[in-house]
Amino acid sequence: MKQLLCPSMMCADFGNLRKEIGDLDRAGVDIYHCDIMDGQFVPNMTMGINDVKTIRACTDTLVDCHLMIENPGEKVDWFLDMGVDLLYIHPESERYVVKTLSHIKSRGKLAGLAINPDTSIETVRELLPLADYILVMTVSPGFAGQAFLDLTRKKIATLLQMRREYSYKIVIDGACSPEIIKEFTRLGVDGFVLGTSALFNKKEEYSTLIERLRSL
């Protein structure tokens, strides 16, 4: 199975963003992952509208936005209108989760559900039929450079088992080292968000790193 390799663009060099995207495209990445934080749902602030617009304008590869913001339903059309292909929302931050996921799909885009380490599967079970993608947070959202939380392994295993009933893809976000990618690819996880653990701030070229990850 070919993994979906999704570079976390908040880790990219924004001083050379067009070059970064060109290099990543040539390396064959699958989805550009854009973290949008508002300083309220999570304590940090990261990428903004213009950053996403620039990424979208520079590539034909899929672009997703992970909305770590309050009331994302009020803002999903901002991102859909600029051509984002996949939007992840957190159920804790949205009062009308079903409405928002359904709206994303009605626009012909992919609807994603992001699940925090401290979010129980049981609390989101009824939402799973509406999700094209499940983003499993294996670190606490809002900070880069954290260690993989082992307690999320059971959650991933449960979602893999439940996938037989639904049609979503599972993507892991947080501390995705080559070792983690190898382990969970073999278990059937579909994709991985790549940050500093596997892709960015390395001496080797992106093409070399992506080729190595594909071989795991």
Residue 137: predicted pLDDT: 97
Backbone angles phi, psi at 33, to 5 degrees: -105, 120
Residue tagged 């936005």 (tokens): 65
The continuous run of DSSP H or E covering 53 comes out as helix 49-58
Phi/psi at 7 (nearest 5 deg)?
Answer: -65, 130
Strand arrangement of the beta sheet that strand 110-115 belongs to: 4-7, 191-194, 169-173, 133-137, 110-115, 86-89, 62-68, 31-37
Number of domains in the chain: 1
Quote the tokens at residue 87.
């939007």
Active site residue 173: yes
pLDDT of the residue at 146: 83
pLDDT value for 142: 73
CA 93 to chain centroid, in Å, comes to 17
Given 35, 64, 132, 190, the catalytic residue: 35
Q: Would you call 13 a catalytic residue per the annotation? A: no
Closest by Cα among 147, 159, 140 to 68 = 140
Task: Return per-residue pLDDT of the chain as tens, 216 residues.
Answer: 689 999 999 999 999 999 999 999 999 999 999 999 999 999 888 899 999 999 999 999 999 999 999 999 999 999 999 999 999 999 999 999 999 999 999 999 999 999 999 999 999 999 999 999 999 999 988 766 789 999 999 999 999 999 999 999 999 999 999 999 999 999 999 999 999 999 999 999 999 999 999 999
64, 132, 173, 190: the active-site residue: 173
CA angle 51/131/121 to nearest 5° reads: 110
Cβ pair 85, 169 in contact under 8 A: no
Distance CA 122, CA 108 (A): 28
The parent domain of residue 24 ranges over 4-214
Residue 151: CATH number of its domain: 3.20.20.70
- Is the overall model pTM greater than 0.85, yes or no? yes
Measured in degrees and rounded to the nearest 5, phi and psi for residue 43 equal -75, -10
Spatial CA neighbour of 96 closest among 84, 104, 85: 104
